[in-house]
A and B are shown apart, each in its own frame.
Chain A
Amino acid sequence: ILNVEQSPQSLHVQEGDSTNFTCSFPSSNFYALHWYRWETAKSPEALFVMTLNGDEKKKGRISATLNTKEGYSYLYIKGSQPEDSATYLCASRNSGNTPLVFGKGTRLSVIA
């Protein structure tokens, strides 16, 4: 059974700080890695979908890297803003026909 681990579980940072989270997943039979942002009272929203080892993706102040050989991905937020406060979910799948397996998420609070 695919197991996805995320750390830390929660994080409090000051506005303007940069931060990063970790997602670990099994490196064998890897197919894709997804990052989602889930703001309170809203739906989870996709940030990135990554498939290739060494892949790096960027969306504004948020970026992600992928290492499929060692089974981890990092999500970076540069210059955190209060609107970045959310739960960040990582999910992995080992084929195009298997469902995504989610980690427990990292809850980020950005203090103004």
Chain B
Amino acid sequence: DTGVSQNPRHKITKRGQNVTFRCDPISEHNRLYWYRQTLGQGPEFLTYFQNEAQLEKSRLLSDRFSAERPKGSFSTLEIQRTEQGDSAMYLCASSLAGGQGMGKLFFGSGTQLSVL
């Protein structure tokens, strides 16, 4: 069990550029979540997958954000035309579905995005 891995750890970009982050979950976990955290706030839900299906997406999520989990393993989160307000820590977490493991989330170290 190597844990949840996220890349890159840090990303600095200019406003208007596109960025993509990757998350590799714990291999036997079928659920994968993306959260965003800004200073002074708790993690805010963005979207989640069960296997390759995207089951829920936050209403707060702009159409500039898209996430994929093509083979039910790793996931990518892309932000197009970044804005300064997108600067945040992007956290990925994985879990077992249903009652298994009681839905406990295992988090990665996050990707810190800074939009200049």
Q: Do A and B come from one complex?
A: yes
How many pairs of A and B residues are in contact by the CB < 8 Å rule?
60
Query: A34 contacts B42, CB within 8 Å?
Result: no
Chain B: number of interface residues, binned into ranges: 20 to 34
Query: A34 contacts B98, CB within 8 Å?
Result: no
Could you say which of A13-21, A67-75, A90-98 contacts chain B?
A90-98
Residue of B nearest to A50 (CB): B102
Bitwise, A47-60 to B at CB < 8 A (1) or not (0) is: 00101000000000
Indicate whether A110 reaches chain B with its CB closer than 8 angstroms: no
Q: How many residues of A contact B (CB 8 A)?
A: 25
B interface residues, Cβ below 8 angstroms from A? 3-4, 33, 35, 40-45, 48, 55-56, 91, 93, 97-99, 102-110
A interface residues, Cβ below 8 angstroms from B? 4, 6, 32, 34, 36, 42-46, 49, 51, 89, 91, 93, 96-105
